[in-house]
Amino acid sequence: MNQEKSREAFNRAAKVIPGGVNSPVRAFKSVGINPVVIDYAKGTTITDIDGNQYIDFVSSWGPLILGHANESILEAIRETAVKGTSFGAPTILETEMAELIVQMVPSVDKVRMVNSGTEATMSVLRLARGYTKKDLVIKFTGNYHGHADSFLIKAGSGAITLGLPDSPGVTKATAKDTLLADYNELDSVELLLKKHQGEVAAIIVEPVAGNMGVVPPEKGFLEGLRKLADNYGALLIFDEVITGFRLAKGGAQEYYGVHPDLTTLGKIIGGGLPVGAYGGKAEIMDLLAPDGPVYQAGTLSGNPLAMAAGLAMLKALNETPGFYEALESKAARLENGLRENLEKTATPGVVNRVGSLLTLFFTQKEQVTSYDEAMASDTEKFANYFRHSLENGIYLAPSQFEAMFVSYAHTDEDIDKCIAASLEAMQKI
């Protein structure tokens, strides 16, 4: 597979962009090769600047649940763009988006649009502290909530992929306000709440961990968090930047039947354009300026292009009969194929899946339910697996600690090709 143009493009980028990329995991460092540079995409196929084609299971890290360059989304962007790309003023599109989110997400009465998932989580934490008048927040080791200072303490995703769980530049004063608990371990949460009784503003969690690989909540975990938050006077925040509108119309909170006080959203609600949002109970959201004293603002918040694309996306999810059932069927087909491949090749591994989110862990462990179990994975074996998959035309996230994203556009043929390429890769690693 010729990737000469991609190598040249990456070397060119490295001269003017730190690491040659604008988000660290894209650099492919953990898989030991230079990144491929993408030219265009359609449906489930992406094409690099050398003309190589791949079946994509990254989906821009989740937003493209309808596939690349979906025509209804492109048309919404075109119709909106000719009217102007940004006003820094209200538009009806913002209200329509907010109304649809409130309709679909069970716990949200009001919602504020922002420009990224990081901005959403950063802002929701300020709001939680302003509402409770408390300083401390509990997060979980291996959960990733964007790159705001408060969250870069034992973070997941790119931080652990690159071996950088804590970042220089985060002050001790900021770090001391973030308490670490163990995902799927309620006792670790209650110990912190007891030790810091009356000081914890919020518990923030990925309801399905997606940034140390896909790790589902164990039975009773989310329900237990809800109860602990109520008992100790803390807010419960679900970071649904990944799970929102992916597991169900109402996200993980509908899927599991547990409702948080506040929710962060992103990815899918932008239809592939930069976007974020946070919402929750009206009494909490009404503390935001201009109605209340908690300040947050953004020139491009509610950008009409992102709102138009997101509206087209959410309407498609909302109005397509059997959408999530079809997505479940596609993802189950992939899961079953990968499990069979592990058995056929006697490769030690675990496949974790929730809805259309899936991770294949190369590990001697019998299960992966925690950060420590995820960290026991064989990253060198994954890197070899990744490289063989790429050579066979399958584009995966270049990290053991990320998810595969199955889209509605993936066909049985796409999935079967992925399973076949996976089997060949396992036979070689």
Q: Kindly give, in sequence order, each residue whose CB lies less than 8 Å from that of residue 144, ignoring residues fewer than 6 positions away.
A: 151, 155, 156, 157, 158, 159, 206, 210, 211, 212
**8 A C-beta contact, residue 404 and residue 371:** no
> Beta strand 357-361 with 350-354: parallel, antiparallel or unpaired?
antiparallel
Residue 101 has pLDDT above 60, yes or no: yes
CATH number (domain holding residue 152) = 3.40.640.10
Q: Are residues 46 and 85 in the same domain?
A: no
Q: Is the same domain home to 153 and 277?
A: yes
Q: What is the DSSP string of 60-129?
A: GGTT-TT-BT-HHHHHHHHHHHTT-S--SS--HHHHHHHHHHHHHSTT-SEEEEESSHHHHHHHHHHHHH
The residues near 77 (Cβ < 8 Å, ≥ 6 apart) are 271, 273, 305, 308, 309
Q: Identify whether residues 392 and 262 lie together within a single domain.
A: no
Q: Is 415 found in the same domain as 270?
A: no
Between CA 217 and CA 86 the distance in angstroms is: 40
pLDDT, position 363: 98
C-alpha gyration radius of the chain: 21
DSSP letters, 125-188, are HHHHHHHHT--EEEEETT----SSGGG-BS--THHHHTT-SB-TT--HHHHTTEEEE-TT-HHH
- Identify which of 93, 102, 148, 95 has the alpha carbon closest to the alpha carbon of residue 279: 102
Choosing from 266, 300, 319, the residue where a domain stops is: 319
Residue ending a domain, choose from 319, 340, 375: 319
CATH of the domain at 398: 3.90.1150.10
pLDDT bucket at 109, cuts 50 / 70 / 90: very high
Q: What's the distance, CA 75 to chain centroid? A: 26
Mean pLDDT along residues 9-29: 95
Beta bridge partners of 203: 138, 236
pLDDT, residue 167, reads 67
Handedness of CA 294, 300, 304, 310 (dihedral sign): negative
Query: What percent of the chain is modeled with pLDDT above 90?
Result: 93
**Read out DSSP for 117-128?**
HHHHHHHHHHHH
Pairing verdict, β 276-280 and 53-56: unpaired
* pLDDT given at position 166: 63
What would the mean pLDDT of 183-189 be, rounded to a whole number? 98
Strand, coil or helix: 402:
coil
For residue 244 the two structure tokens come to 């929102």
* Average pLDDT value for residue range 108-112: 98
Is residue 113 within 8 Å of 140, Cβ to Cβ? no
Please say whether the beta carbons of 348 and 360 come within 8 A. no
Cα angle 204, 207, 210; round to 5 = 105
Read off the pLDDT of residues 27-63 as tens digits, 9 standing for 90 and up.
999 999 999 999 999 999 999 999 999 999 999 999 9
How far apart are the C-alpha atoms of 347 and 349, rounded to whole Å? Answer: 6
pLDDT of 144 higher than 80: yes
Query: Does pLDDT of 155 surpass 90?
Result: no
Statement to judge: residues 61 and 86 lie in one domain = no
Tens digits of residue pLDDT in 359-371: 999 999 999 999 9
Structure tokens of 1? 């597979």
- Assess whether 106 and 250 both reside in one domain: yes
Model confidence at 158: pLDDT above 60: no
User: Do 285 and 386 sit in the same domain of this protein?
Assistant: no
- Binned at pLDDT 50, 70 and 90, residue 154 comes out as low
pLDDT at residue 294 in the model: 97
User: Within this chain, do residues 196 and 299 fall inside the same structural domain, yes or no?
Assistant: yes
Neighbours of 81 (CB within 10 A): 12
Please check whether residues 271 and 352 belong to one and the same domain.
no
8 forms beta bridges with: none
Q: What is the C-alpha to C-alpha distance for residues 64 and 368, in angstroms, rounded to an integer?
A: 27
Rounded Cα gap, residues 383 and 25, in angstroms: 13
For the chain, the domain total comes to 2
Which of 298, 319, 340 delimits the end of a domain?
319
Phi-psi region of 142 (alpha: psi -120 to 50; beta: other; left: phi over 0): left
Would you state the torsion angle of the CA atoms of residues 110, 114, 117, 120, taken in this order, to the nearest 10 degrees? -50
What pLDDT is recorded for position 293?
97
Token pair listed for 325: 């059932």
List Cβ neighbours of 244 (8 Å cut-off, separation of 6 or more).
105, 251, 252, 263, 265, 266, 267, 268, 269
Residues 6+ apart with CB under 8 A from 393: 52, 53, 54, 55, 417, 421
Same domain, 247 and 200: yes
Q: Do 311 and 328 lie in a common domain?
A: no
Residue 356 pLDDT greater than 70, yes or no: yes
pLDDT digits (tens, 9 = 90+) for 282-326: 999 999 999 999 999 999 999 999 999 999 999 999 999 999 999
Q: What is the mean pLDDT of residues 78-105?
A: 97
pLDDT of residue 113: 98
The range of the structural domain enclosing residue 198 comes to 71-319
Query: Cα(226)–Cα(240) distance, rounded to whole angstroms?
Result: 16
Q: Which residues are catalytic?
A: 144, 239, 267
pTM: 0.94
Are both 76 and 9 inside the same structural domain?
no
pLDDT tens for 374-407 read 999 999 999 999 999 999 999 999 999 999 999 9
